[in-house]
A and B are shown apart, each in its own frame.
Chain A
Amino acid sequence: EAQVTQNPRYLITVTGKKLTVTCSQNMNHEYMSWYRQDPGLGLRQIYYSMNVEVTDKGDVPEGYKVSRKEKRNFPLILESPSPNQTSLYFCASSLSPRAGELFFGEGSRLTVL
């Protein structure tokens, strides 16, 4: 089954404790991206990756890091989480940036206390 898998799905952590949200896709997609979803703000792009070892900032990259060492994986790293990073996070992938359709994971709800 074609899918984008995120882990963990739910996480409660404290300010300053480093965490990583993993994302893996099994569709051999080149393009991957992270979004955060907040009430009234819709989906905002954090980082994206065109291919292995190629990443770039989205609209709200502050406080986040990413890496793309393998085509299938695109982890999101919060080095020192803060309460304003409490949000619902989505990883997405696409066959190519021009293909249009993004396939989303089921989301990771993060709470930073």
Chain B
Amino acid sequence: QQQVKQSPQSLIVQKGGISIINCAYENTAFDYFPWYQQFPGKGPALLIAIRPDVSEKKEGRFTISFNKSAKQFSLHIMDSQPGDSATYFCAASRWAIYYGGATNKLIFGTGTLLAVQP
């Protein structure tokens, strides 16, 4: 059961343009929303993250916009550069109970392959 839906599957943007990737979630128990960036041959790496008590977070050219009522969040990459070409995963995290206590369960979207053309 896919609990975090990510779109588009792939995206081509011209250098200097804005890249926008969208994610939607269903479970209102999610309380942490990170974005991971993955270059070919590498593992994902945390790019930026937001908690639901704020509507926007900006780090350099990367911005997360969060809409709690719509249960949607998006990544905006301003002034996109060829070096931003990578796969981007959104994720959502919630507490999950297991036999010994609780853990933070991170659920990933299906990924967006971004290509920034020079």
Footprint of B on A, CB under 8 Å?
4, 31, 35, 40-45, 48, 50, 54, 56, 90, 92, 97-98, 100-102, 104-107
- 23 A-B interface contacts by CB (under 8 A): A4-B43, A31-B103, A35-B108, A40-B110, A42-B6, A42-B89, A43-B44, A43-B89, A43-B108, A43-B111, A44-B108, A45-B107, A48-B103, A50-B98, A90-B43, A90-B44, A97-B103, A100-B104, A101-B46, A102-B36, A102-B44, A106-B43, A107-B43
Footprint of A on B, CB under 8 Å?
6, 9, 32, 34, 36, 41-46, 49, 89, 93, 98-111
In the A-B complex, list the 10 residue pairs whose CB atoms are closest, starting with the nearest.
A104-B43, A97-B104, A42-B110, A43-B108, A97-B103, A42-B108, A101-B46, A56-B98, A104-B44, A42-B111
Residues in chain A near residue B45, CB distance under 8 A: 104
Known: A42-B109, A42-B110. 14 other contacts (CB 8 A): A31-B103, A43-B44, A43-B108, A44-B108, A50-B101, A90-B43, A90-B44, A92-B43, A97-B102, A98-B104, A102-B46, A105-B43, A106-B43, A107-B42
Question: A39 → chain B, closest Cβ, in Å?
Answer: 9
